[in-house]
Structure 1
Amino acid sequence: MIQGSWRALLWIGLAELFALSLWFSASVIAPELIQVWNLSSSSEAWLSASVPLGFVIGALISSYFGIADRFNPRKVLALSAFLGALVNVLLILVNHAFFGILLRILTGAALAGVYPTAVKILSQWFPKKRGLAIGILIAALTLGSSLPHFIVIFSSSLNWQLVIICSSILALLAAIIVNWVLEDAPVIPKKLPFSFKLLKKVVSNKPVMLANYGYFGHMWELYAMWTWIPIFLTASFTSYTPGISPWFIALASFMTIGIAGGIGCVIGGFVSDKIGRANLTIISMVISGICCILIGFTFGQNIWLTLLLSIIWGMSVISDSAQFSAAVSEVAEVEYVGTALTFQMCIGFLITIFSINLIPFIQKMIGWEWVFACLAIGPILGIVSMLRYKRHELR
């Protein structure tokens, strides 16, 4: 264990928590932005889908030019958080959907320098047995992604610009923490750059691709759930109790995505070191897949029943997230680990764009009762893949 590693994890996690508040900063104020930008219902999903699109673009550019390898990754993370804060706050000056969506894409590109770079820095501080550390980092990511819902609890009656400004301030704090408080790791690992030439080796490595397929199924479910569960809870709670307060709905969303998700990440990281990565991912996807199917049956029913199932879903849907990347890093050859991880991340986030946009389309046809069942496809395919991966893990 490197001296000061847990202190570094504290600062990295705190910075990640603050910076990732940018991800859903526009999504939680979608009703206001729909009016301000005159968004059509078909364009509403792009408030969230535009961010992963930008993330993929940013990740490919960063990896291709080896930015985190050529420059100090701590400085890269700080600059990325600062740029994300700047681009995000410009939303308050925009009154047209095209420019708003463009800024969301640029926000996603900036975040591509935050999350992957934070993982890289963490690997420098925790060269071995980093399961729990990665779990805590993903918990910070999860909690950070849900922070806009927390802000809405206290600002639901105020101007929507306050949510944007608060999330940008948090991202700016992340940049300050990383640049002036976090120290550089004493151990610098070997560079693992992305290379299109090595991509053929990635796709021909069966264990790597099985872990990737598991991740793709996981991502099909994750961000669509995070994007639409607050809308589902709003419709369900309002159906059961028409006069329910908006702050309670925001609190329920924050508890489902942030609190439950963060707890799930930490538990998942701890358990994976005990029972193996494949077993943890299979258990998590079984639970989350069942929740995909059952959550619709609670629509318009008792609020506490709906909230309980959504919290279980929130814990299980993210508890295995870090393990897919860890699995790839363990079975891929050192020369193309960087390429394999970038490939996994980019395809995974591209998939989220389709599932995020699919939900409102299906919801109009079959209603909230059955719409989330289509997300169960991801966990089912992921379970099959990780069962097959398990054979390679046991060798």
Structure 2
Amino acid sequence: MEKKVNINVRWVQLVVGVIVLLFAGIIYAWSILNAPLKNEFGWNAAQLGLNFTITVSLFCIGGFISGLISKKTTPMLRLLIGAVLFFAGFLIASQMGNSIAVLYLSYGVLAGLGIGFVYNTIIGVVSAWFPDKRGLASGLMLMGFGLNSILIGKIADAYIKMENVGWRTTYIVLAIITTVIFIIAAFIIKNPPAGAVFPAPKGAASKDQGDVKALEIPPLQMIKRASFWQLFIFFILLASVGSASISFAKNIITDAGAADTFAVTMVGLISIGNGLGRLVSGWLFDNIGRRKTQFVTSAVAIVAPLVVVLALVTHSLGIAITGLILCYISYGFAPTGSTAFIGAFFGQKNFSMNLGILNLQLILTSFAATLAGSLKVATGSFVSMYIILAAFSVVGLVLNIFIKKP
């Protein structure tokens, strides 16, 4: 039975979703948060890069589990689970000694799982309120997720450098504030009422959704379709560019000749590209459709790493910053594309579970950071890594041509 709902209620859900993901995006401030650990414990780029890999991997697993239990649990319960895991992870990390295994288990496993629970719940629930503006809604939420580095990360860096505060206290404060935000959201975020009627999609979004609106494909059937695996591989190749850049943005900027303080400021400013990519790609999906947006995405992903290579070879700070901004923008296209394709290709009934499965590609993507760190240790430069990333993007462009609607 159809039910009329107060259309303004969904905007409250969206605003809360943006705020929650802004704080959950602490995962993207790793290049800032890892600096004091390198200084105090002497851990190298490869070791710290592995923590980012573990964090992203467990983020994906957390999202997968959240999607798996989404039909049998409430958004409140899943958000509270995420809050507890995140708090435990950061609190333990704040107390660790010179044991990188503790970092991996606390920050990587516990906090990663918690953020995964929160992310999947927020994206799945809030997107359901916007069938007519799915690209805009997901783009705004994911923009918040990507802007953490410039907003929360920059503040955290300032407190880390204060002698009377330091990184341990900063980690504790981040744990408390972020957990409180998650708990408050748990009492606000709710699924749309059964039978709720929303405005119909317009423009390109209407055409895209109309092509597949009758399809409601469950997870087991989804993973048997070629279109799913084409998307899975494409997003691995695309997101690898951003994964490596997010982990080592500060290092690349200092390699190009910047001072440490300036590099931290630039990491924050560059992260705008991540948020901008998410917002712009959401707008593009709604207005020019999936197909054209995917080709724009591939073009940016090919150019971005090549610009970084040029910057590292010429030691040009300006070119380095430009290249990293493009890398962040291309990375921002990935999560918005994932949500758009899952909804359009496989339907809304199993959206959370299907999105959790597709996002498992980030486990493989995260190894780009580990590889980048290892190549840096072996060669003393990130040049070879970014040549590899450019090649990935070219393969992604070719694959893009063969991605077809179910």
Identify the residue that residue 94 of structure 2 maps to in structure 1: 92
Q: Please, which of 291, 307, 311 is the counterpart of residue 294 of structure 1?
A: 307
3-state secondary structure, aligned to 1:355: helix
| Count of aligned positions | 374
Tell me how far 1:93 sits from its aligned partner. 0.9
Report how far residue 17 of structure 1 moved.
0.5
Aligned-residue offset at 1:377: 3.3
**Gap runs ≥5 in structure 2:** 1-5, 197-217
Structure 2 counterpart of 1:308, from 307, 313, 322: 322
Kindly state the Cα deviation for residue 383 of structure 1 after the two structures are TM-superposed: 1.9
Query: Residues 127 and 137 of structure 2 are in contact (CA less than 8 Å); yes or no, is this contact kept in structure 1?
Result: no
Alignment of 1:122 onto 2:135: no
Correspondence 1:187-266 to 2 at 5 A: 187-188=193-194, 201-238=221-258, 244=259, 246-257=260-271, 259-266=272-279
Q: Indicate if the aligned counterparts of 2:16 and 2:185 stay in contact, CA closer than 8 A.
A: yes
Query: 1-side partners of 2:261 and 2:297: how far apart?
Result: 30
1:342 to 1:29, Cα distance in 2 relative to 1, 3 A: closer
CA 1:342–1:101 in 2, change beyond 3 Å: closer, same or farther? same
Q: In the alignment, which residue of structure 2 is the partner of 1:195?
A: none
Alpha carbons of structure 1 residues 278 and 169: separation in structure 2 relative to 1, 3 Å: farther
C-alpha displacement of 1:16 = 1.1
AA at the equivalent of 1:325: T
Q: Does the 8 Å contact 1:28/1:148 carry over to 2? A: no
> Does residue 49 in structure 1 map to residue 69 in structure 2?
no
The equivalent of 2:20 in structure 1 is 15
Correspondence 1:142 to 2:146: yes
> Counterpart of 1:273 in structure 2: which amino acid?
D
> Post-superposition shift, 1:280?
1.0
State the one-letter code of the partner of 1:84. Answer: F
Instruction: State the superposition RMSD in angstroms.
Output: 2.8
* Residue 359 (str. 1) matches residue 372 (str. 2): yes
CA distance in 2, matches of 1:218, 1:316: 7
Percent identity of equivalent pairs: 17
- For residue 397 of structure 2, what is the aligned residue in structure 1? 383
Deviation at 1:166?
3.7
Supply the distance in 1 between the matched residues of 2:308 and 2:55 (Cα, whole angstroms).
Answer: 26
The whole-number CA distance in structure 1 between the counterparts of 2:219 and 2:33 is 39
Q: Return the alpha-carbon distance in structure 2 between the equivalents of residues 29 and 106 of structure 1.
A: 16
- Whether 1:184 aligns to 2:204 is no
Aligned match of 2:204: none
Tell me: CA distance 1:333–1:263, structure 2 relative to 1, closer, same or farther (3 Å): closer
Contact conserved, 1:75 with 1:178, CA < 8 A, in 2?
no
- From 132, 136, 150, the equivalent of 1:132 is 136
Name the aligned partner's letter for residue 201 of structure 1: Q
- TM-score (normalised: structure 2): 0.82
List alignment gaps of at least 5 residues for structure 1. Answer: 191-197, 239-243
The range that moved more, 264-273 or 301-310, is: 301-310
